[in-house]
Amino acid sequence: MWNISFDLKLEKFIFPKPDDIRPEYFPLNKLLATSDFINQCKVFESQPEKSQYYEKAESLLSSIKDS
């Protein structure tokens, strides 16, 4: 399907290439189910910016679900 992600560093929507996988690229399809969201956030654990990534991912989720 559509490969749309939100770049948590740049705070913008992107269309990454299939082989361009980065921790800061949050796939929008991971916002649909709670377990998918949690599993995607686990990718942040080894990142120095993990607290920022968690905060921005939660903000993204809130903006989508509260719309």
In a domain, 5, yes or no: no
In a domain, 56, yes or no: yes
Residues 1-12 have pLDDT tens digits of 578 999 999 999
Bigger pLDDT: 66 vs 32: 32
Note the pLDDT of residue 48. 96
Q: Is the pTM of this model over 0.75?
A: yes
In a domain, 23, yes or no: no
Q: Number of structural domains, the chain?
A: 1
Task: Please list the residues that pair with 12 across neighbouring strands.
Answer: 7
Helix, strand or coil, per DSSP, at residue 33: coil
In a domain, 24, yes or no: no
In a domain, 20, yes or no: no
Distance CA 34, CA 50 (A): 19
Residue 9 neighbours by CB distance under 10 Å: 13
Surface-to-core class of residue 47, CB atoms within 10 Å of its CB (0-12 exposed, 13-18 middle, 19+ buried): middle
| Range(s) of the domain holding residue 47 | 29-67
- Residue 47, pLDDT above cutoff 70: yes
